């Protein structure tokens, strides 16, 4: 019997810091995870307790990898082995906001560090918690804890998607250039591209003009060395160049490109093969079982009526409904809805080619029924989403 779990965790982690990784055996780690951790209330976790919990997670991974030598099997069952299921509860339910944010950051970096191998688990866990909180709101509109879980779940999901877009920006851009992009049908966020970074290119060959003239007269090819200076980062690059007409030219570049380290980072996603598209979190969220739940969540938040004794809950619910819309804007265009609208054009062309008037009328009724299903006014959020797709098709 272990009387105080945080104390035991602390005693087990302190030797690990000193280099002794066998302070706790595999059985002791499993006992702490499977028996004692579920007894700790996630609402009452502190920063000290969370730090010790994260150290125990690391110790468990090292111990299990050392004893079993089965890294792949550990990855598939990571939520049960390293206590990720309990960490989800801490992130969504902790009364201390600092603890919740730290747990959210840990979860995000843990799953993103797995090279998208655990994205199915992440999306499943995130959507499951959001659905549970939404069901609690439907039963009780004044449930502040459920609304807090929705807020933190959406924060975690949005942070994860933004991190994914930054880390895999190279592959996403390459797919777009190759015509295989998975971008959205329209810019629902209405975000601009941001200010441009101006770079002045100036040949560093002013002092060698006389030497160049001699080379040209002798029929020798000249190759000039250009000094690239970025006034934003105060860094310089040298590149071989053979033309002098680009002096003081202004080049516009995207703000997305950050200054990279000089050493080669082979672990960076851009240095590796492109990941399978079916493993991308944005693609996984397009599955009907998740995509429809996002609209249901947005509708639940939007339908919350203001309470006379607590008007802040209604305002908070409206803001969270907007955050769900922002997440939908990050996702690629839903292929099922897009193909359904495109098929209406083909159905209309087929109907025009029919011989009898009755066949044309029946075909028109069929098209009208499909259109009513796609533009269902009972779900205003999905109705607006479909209208954005129609607008994008009309502009093409």
Q: What is the predicted pLDDT for the residue at 162?
A: 92
Q: What percent of the chain is predicted at pLDDT more than 90?
A: 22
Inform me whether the pLDDT recorded for 200 exceeds 50.
Answer: yes
Q: What is the predicted pLDDT for the residue at 26?
A: 63
Q: What is the predicted pLDDT for the residue at 356?
A: 77
Inform me whether the pLDDT recorded for 317 exceeds 60.
Answer: yes
pLDDT-wise least confident of 146-150, 175-179, 241-245, 294-298: 241-245
Which range of 3-12, 278-287, 364-373 scores highest in mean pLDDT? It is 278-287
Q: What is the predicted pLDDT for the residue at 55?
A: 80
Inform me whether the pLDDT recorded for 95 exceeds 70.
Answer: yes
Q: How confident is the model at residue 214 (pLDDT cuts 50, 70, 90)?
A: low
Instruction: Provide mean pLDDT across the span 305-314.
Output: 79
Instruction: Provide mean pLDDT across the span 157-184.
Output: 86
Q: List pLDDT tens digits, range 27-48.
A: 776 677 667 776 788 898 889 8
In this structure, the chain runs to a length of: 396
Q: What is the predicted pLDDT for the residue at 249?
A: 55
Which range of 142-151, 154-163, 309-318, 360-369 scores highest in mean pLDDT? It is 154-163
Inform me whether the pLDDT recorded for 323 exceeds 80.
Answer: yes
Inform me whether the pLDDT recorded for 11 exceeds 80.
Answer: no
Q: How confident is the model at residue 59 (pLDDT cuts 50, 70, 90)?
A: confident
Inform me whether the pLDDT recorded for 105 exceeds 90.
Answer: yes
Instruction: Provide mean pLDDT across the span 134-152.
Output: 87
Higher pLDDT, 35 or 151: 151
Higher pLDDT, 231 or 134: 134
Quick one: three-class SS letters along the chain?
A: CCCCHHHHHHHHHHHHHCCCCCCCCHHHHHHHHHHHHHHCCHHHCCHHHHHHHHHHHHHHHHHHHHHHCCHHHHHHCHHHHCCHHHHHHHHHHCCCHHHHHHHHHHHHHHHHCCCCCCHHHHHHHHHHHHHHHHHHHHHCCCCHHHHHHHHHHHHHHHHHHHHHHHHCHHHHHHHHHCCCCCCCCCCCCCCCCCCCEEEEEEECCHHHHHHHHHHHHCCCCCCEEEEEEECCCCEEEEEEECCCCCCCEEEEECCCCCCCCCCCCCCCHHHCCCCCHHHCHHHHCCCHHHHHHHHHHHHHHHCCCCECCEHHHHHHHHHHHHHHHHHHHHCCCCHHHHHHHHHHHHHHHHHHCCCCHHHHHHHHHHHHHHHHHHCCCCCHHHHHHHHHHHHHHHHC
Instruction: Provide mean pLDDT across the span 133-146.
Output: 84
**C-alpha dihedral sign at 331, 337, 343, 344:** negative
């Amino acid at each position: 019997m272990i009387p105080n779990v945080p104390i035991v965790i602390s005693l087990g982690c302190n030797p690990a810091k000193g280099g002794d990784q066998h302070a706790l055996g595999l059985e002791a780690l499993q006992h702490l995870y499977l028996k004692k951790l579920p007894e700790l209330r996630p609402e009452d976790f502190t920063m000290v307790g969370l730090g010790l919990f994260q150290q125990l997670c690391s110790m468990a991974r090292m111990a299990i990898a050392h004893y079993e030598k089965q890294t792949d099997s550990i990855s598939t069952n990571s939520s049960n082995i390293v206590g990720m299921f309990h960490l989800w509860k801490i992130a969504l339910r902790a009364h201390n906001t600092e603890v919740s944010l730290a747990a959210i950051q840990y979860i995000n970096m843990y799953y993103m560090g797995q090279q998208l191998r655990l994205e199915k688990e992440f999306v499943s866990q995130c959507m499951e918690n959001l659905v549970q909180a939404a069901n609690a709101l439907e039963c009780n509109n004044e449930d502040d804890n459920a609304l807090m879980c929705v807020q933190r779940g959406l924060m975690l999901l949005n942070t994860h998607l933004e991190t994914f877009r930054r880390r895999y920006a190279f592959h996403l851009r390459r797919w777009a250039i190759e015509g295989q992009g998975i971008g959205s049908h329209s810019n629902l966020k209405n975000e601009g591209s941001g200010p441009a970074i101006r770079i002045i290119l100036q040949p560093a060959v002013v002092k060698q003009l006389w030497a160049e003239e001699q080379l040209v007269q002798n029929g020798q090819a000249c190759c000039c060395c250009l000094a690239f200076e970025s006034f934003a980062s105060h860094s310089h690059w040298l590149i071989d160049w053979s033309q002098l007409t680009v002096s003081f030219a202004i080049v516009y570049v995207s703000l997305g490109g950050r200054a990279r380290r000089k050493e080669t980072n082979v672990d960076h996603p851009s240095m590796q093969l492109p990941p399978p598209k079916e493993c991308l979190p944005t693609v996984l969220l397009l599955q009907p079982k998740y995509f429809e739940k996002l609209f249901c969540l947005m509708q639940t938040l939007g339908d919350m009526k203001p309470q006379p004794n607590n008007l802040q809950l209604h305002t908070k619910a409206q803001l969270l409904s907007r955050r769900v819309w922002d997440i939908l804007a990050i996702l690629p265009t839903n292929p099922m809805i897009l193909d359904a609208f495109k098929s209406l054009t083909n159905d209309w062309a087929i109907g025009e080619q029919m011989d009898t008037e009755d066949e044309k009328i029946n075909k028109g009724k069929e098209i009208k029924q499909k259109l009513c299903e796609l533009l269902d006014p009972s779900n205003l959020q999905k109705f607006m989403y479909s209208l954005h797709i129609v607008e994008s098709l009309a502009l093409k």
